[in-house]
Each structure stands twice: as C-alpha cells, then as structure tokens.
C-alpha cells in the first residue's frame, strides 16, 4: 500500500518515482526545535491514536502473521516431513483466505483511484496507460498462440512474462508497505525519526527487497515446465551464489534495525508501540518462511492483504462521516457493509469472470482455458494494483492526508 514529506505533517517520498504510504514514512524528518537531538527531561504522554484501533492495527499489520509463522515453524519442528510444509496451505484454504482478504484488498484500491475525477486525471499512468498496456499484452498473447500443447490457444511465453513481473513488483510492494506502516504508526505515536534512524530501520526493508527479487528469479528458473527457464537455466548457479551471499547480508540488517529503534527511544524519550515493530518483525518472518518452505508463498500475499485492508477501511469510514458526524455503531455497520461489498466484487472478478470463458470452450480444453483466464485476470490485477497503490497513497497530498487522518488531530 501499501509513503511522508518534509512538510508537516506529511513525510518526504522515499521512492524514486512515487510517494505513497507503502514506501514512505510519515515520520521522516525531525522538525526544528530547541532541544532537537536531545532526550527531553520527561517522556511525552504516549499518543492513543490509531488507524482503526491499537489492537486491530497491531493484529492486522503484523501480529496475526507473526503468530501464524511461528506456529508453522513449531508444527515443522514436530512434523518435519509433513506435506503441508512443501505443498503449502492447499487450494481450498488459498481460495477461502483469498476471498476474505486478498481479493478485497485488490478491489479496495479501485474506488480510491477511480472514485474521483481528479485522481483519474492526475494519475494517468495508473488509471489509463498501465491498464491499456496490460490489455494490449493480454490481447497479443491470445492472438499469437504458441506450440504449447497444454494451452494451444494462447502464447504461454507472454503470459509467463506477466506472471514473473507480478512477483518481482511485489518485492517493492511488500517491503514498501511494511516500511510505510512502521513510519505511519511511529508518526501517529508522536515520533519524528531523523535521517539516521530512518536509514537504520529502513536498510532491512531495502535488503529484503533485493532478497525477494533473487528468490523470485530462482523460483521461476527452477521450474522445469517454464519456457523462460529453459532458455536461462545456465544462470541458476550465479543466482544461487548471489542469493546465498545476500541472505547473509539480510541477517546483518537485523541488529542494525534494532539499533535504529533503540536510538529512537533514547533520543525522543518515546517508546515505539508494538504497532511500529510488528510490520518490521513480521516481514523478516515472512521471508524466513519462504526461505525454508517456498510452497508457503501464497501466505505472504494473504498477510500483505490483511495489512493493507486497515487503511482503505479507515478512509471509507472517514469519508462516510465527513459531511455529518456518525455514531460508532453506524460507522461499524457501514464499514462492515463496505467490506462485504469488496468481497462480493472480488468473487465476481476472480471467480465468476474466468468462468465466463466456459461459453467459448470445447470439452477438450475447457479446464485449461479457465485456468489461463484466471491466471491472466490475477496477473492483470496484481500488476495494475502496484501502480494504483503508488498513486493513491501519496501522503504529501493534503486530500489523501485528510481522508486517512480525518479522525485524528493529525488531519490538518
């Protein structure tokens, strides 16, 4: 989402091409003050501010995934030869969790981008050009079918490229969102990180970004059925070497990040809340999980989606109450209805639309056609979501800031 500016209260962009909540910390720059860099004589009163609530923020943005990964490793200790560890959580659970969390997280981005004409015109790349390019690639795939006997109606090499691009973009998506949440929760706690603290904490996210890319490339190169892997299989030893070296570097960033959090506490006198730590701890555990058990990658997308949903739900609640103050009960009911609507739309996009291809198919290739259409839909939405996310979460934008923080004193 899962980025804030030099301006107060918005932090400065950390991405080379965009500012968004996912790659940007709302606490990026310490504001000038007479005692800057010195610990105050008495600790400031901790802020009770939250996006939804302190408990929900913690659980969704890291707590649940931390507990889940630890539980999996405990299970692995007692059942090291379990098929669950190598094959993943299973299609049924992937479908259920995907319907409840992953699909809604994708769908929540679309009204945020396309709900306002100004957003559409301001972010032409995400709103117009990227979807048109993706549709052109998909059309090319269906107009240039290859020799693949399993999928004779589509150019599988083109689709493979889209399938690989998605997970590579997720490297910035996952790590950027986790960093944005660490910064956001520090910001609403009253913490303003200085440059050194940002560098110490964020270096781990950058290292994990590179690790994710290397892991993804190795994963696809080792797939024997992949057309691309057949042409680049000679690169596996080089990627393996880089991957092993970089894995060691990632481990070194853990004490560096801890040093950053310690410095924040000593300089400001404010102890970062569990919500600040949880995304940082969680993402190290996520990647440890797929390092040990690559088949668990689907869980990372569920964890990421759960993190993300907290923020569009808050924006929706704030917009709902913008014109007239609503009671907590009405906000809860509205939020629940909004979430259920996202679930329904997600089911239509990811489940029902691929099934529409049944009317084209013949009995011989029916299942294959539906499988291809499902993969195309998922790749399109996944890649497009990356660009939408980079557009709609520009916290330097006053309107975005108001929508997200309207329930707090930070909304100005």
How much is the pLDDT for 242?
95
Q: How confident is the model at residue 8 (pLDDT cuts 50, 70, 90)?
A: very low
Span 338-359, average pLDDT: 83
User: Across all residues in the chain, what is the average pLDDT?
Assistant: 82
Please classify residue 157 by burial: count the beta carbons closer than 10 Å to its beta carbon, then call 0-12 exposed, 13-18 middle and 19+ buried: middle
| Alpha helix positions (H), 147-235 | 156-189, 195-221, 227-232
Determine the Cα–Cα distance for residues 154 and 339; give it in Å rounded to an integer: 35
| CA 262 from centroid of its chain's CA atoms | 26
How much is the pLDDT for 33?
41
How much is the pLDDT for 41?
40
Tell me: pLDDT of 78 over 60: yes
Q: Where are the domains of the chain?
A: 54-411
DSSP string, 66-94: HHHHHHHHHHHHH-TT-HHHHH-S-HHHH
How much is the pLDDT for 26?
44
Higher pLDDT, 333 or 232: 333
Tell me: pLDDT of 28 over 70: no
pLDDT above 70 coverage of the chain, percent:
81
How much is the pLDDT for 367?
58
Span 137-142, average pLDDT: 85
CA atoms 345, 143, 228, 369: torsion sign: positive
Tell me: pLDDT of 368 over 80: no
DSSP assignment letter at 296: G
Q: Is the Cβ–Cβ distance between 105 and 305 less than 8 Å?
A: yes
How much is the pLDDT for 141?
82
pLDDT digit string, tens, across residues 203-254: 999 999 999 999 998 988 888 777 777 778 888 899 999 999 999 999 999 9
Tell me: pLDDT of 31 over 80: no
CB count within 10 Å of CB 296 equals 21
How much is the pLDDT for 9?
37
**What's the residue count for the chain?**
412
Q: How confident is the model at residue 17 (pLDDT cuts 50, 70, 90)?
A: very low
Q: How confident is the model at residue 29 (pLDDT cuts 50, 70, 90)?
A: very low
Closest CA to 197 of 403, 7, 11: 11
Q: Is the Cβ–Cβ distance between 322 and 316 less than 8 Å?
A: no
Tokens for 52, please give them.
């939804």
Higher pLDDT, 323 or 76: 76
């Amino acid at each position: 989402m899962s980025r804030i500016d030099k301006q107060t209260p918005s932090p400065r962009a950390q991405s080379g091409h965009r500012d968004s909540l996912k790659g940007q910390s709302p606490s990026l720059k310490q504001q000038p003050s007479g005692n800057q860099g010195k610990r105050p004589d008495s600790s400031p009163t901790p802020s009770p501010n939250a996006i939804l609530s302190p408990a929900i923020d913690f659980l969704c943005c890291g707590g649940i995934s931390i507990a889940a990964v630890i539980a999996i490793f405990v299970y692995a200790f007692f059942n090291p030869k379990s098929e669950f560890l190598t094959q993943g959580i299973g299609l049924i659970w992937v479908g259920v969790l995907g319907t409840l969390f992953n699909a809604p997280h994708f769908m929540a981005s679309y009204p945020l981008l396309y709900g306002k004409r100004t957003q559409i015109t301001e972010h032409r790349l995400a709103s117009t050009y990227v979807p048109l390019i993706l549709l052109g690639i998909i059309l090319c795939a269906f107009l240039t079918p290859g020799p693949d006997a399993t999928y004779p109606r589509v150019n599988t090499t083109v689709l493979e490229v889209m399938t690989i691009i998605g997970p590579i973009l997720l490297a910035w998506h996952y790590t950027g969102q986790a960093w944005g949440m660490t910064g956001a929760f520090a910001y609403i706690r009253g913490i303003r990180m200085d440059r050194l603290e940002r560098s110490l904490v964020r270096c781990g996210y950058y290292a994990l970004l590179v690790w994710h890319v290397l892991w993804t490339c190795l994963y696809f190169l080792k797939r024997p059925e992949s057309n691309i892997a057949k042409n680049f299989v000679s690169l596996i030893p080089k990627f393996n070497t880089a991957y092993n070296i970089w894995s060691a570097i990632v481990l070194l960033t853990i004490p560096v990040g801890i040093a950053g959090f310690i410095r924040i506490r000593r300089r400001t006198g404010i102890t970062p809340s569990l919500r600040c730590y949880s995304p940082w701890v969680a993402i190290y555990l996520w990647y440890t999980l797929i390092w040990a058990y690559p088949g668990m990658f689907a869980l990372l997308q569920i964890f990421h989606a759960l993190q993300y949903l907290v923020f569009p739900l808050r924006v929706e609640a704030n917009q709902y109450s913008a014109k007239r103050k609503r009671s907590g009960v009405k906000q809860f009911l509205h939020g629940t209805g909004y979430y259920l609507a996202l679930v329904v739309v997600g089911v239509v996009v990811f489940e029902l639309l691929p099934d529409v291809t049944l009317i084209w198919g013949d009995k011989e290739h029916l299942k294959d056609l539906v499988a291809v259409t499902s993969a195309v839909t998922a790749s399109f939405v996944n890649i497009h979501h990356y660009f939408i996310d980079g557009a709609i979460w520009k916290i330097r934008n006053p309107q975005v800031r108001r929508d997200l923080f309207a329930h707090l004193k930070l909304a100005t």
